[in-house]
């Protein structure tokens, strides 16, 4: 299943952007899911509605274990991350530009950081991803 996971969109303004994204992208059969702040300590892969990605990469057991560990520590109750994040899941490469254009048309800017789900970051919590993505973004946009 094609999905966009939205992190940090729990405010009124973020909810309006998320609704705009959902409306503009529905013709591509992409599910948009706002991740609740209490789940920010969960692994990204645990938030997928379809286990196909996890099964394809042999991650189901690892994600299940990480999810159980996160549940033991209790729900996250800290602040929202500094930025908003969009994790792109199971969207074929030939549709990616179209999805990015729709995100732009929906009011998403460079301030909302985007990542494609990978076998590595599927095991990260959203908090770990929120820590890592700004560093990657800065490195990729560094002028030589």
Half-sphere exposure of 70 (CA within 13 A, CB side): 25
* Predicted TM-score of the model (pTM): 0.90
Q: Where are the domains of the chain?
A: 2-140
pLDDT averaged over every residue in the chain: 92
pLDDT at 127: 94
Determine the Cα–Cα distance for residues 103 and 75; give it in Å rounded to an integer.
29
> 37-46: per-residue pLDDT in tens?
999 999 999 9
pLDDT at residue 134 greater than cutoff 90: no
């Amino acid at each position: 299943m094609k999905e966009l996971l939205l992190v940090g969109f729990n405010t009124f303004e973020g909810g309006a952007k998320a609704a705009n994204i959902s409306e503009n992208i529905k013709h591509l059969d992409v599910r948009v899911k706002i991740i609740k702040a209490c789940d920010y300590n969960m692994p990204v892969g645990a938030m997928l509605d379809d286990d196909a990605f996890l099964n394809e990469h042999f991650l189901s057991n690892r994600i299940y274990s990480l999810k159980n560990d996160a549940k033991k520590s209790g729900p996250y109750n800290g602040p929202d991350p500094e930025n908003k994040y969009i994790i792109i899941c199971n969207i074929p490469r030939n549709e990616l530009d179209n999805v990015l254009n729709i995100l732009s048309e929906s009011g998403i800017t460079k301030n909302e950081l985007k990542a494609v789900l990978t076998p590595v970051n599927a095991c990260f919590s959203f908090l770990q991803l929120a820590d890592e993505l700004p560093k990657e973004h800065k490195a990729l946009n560094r002028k030589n």
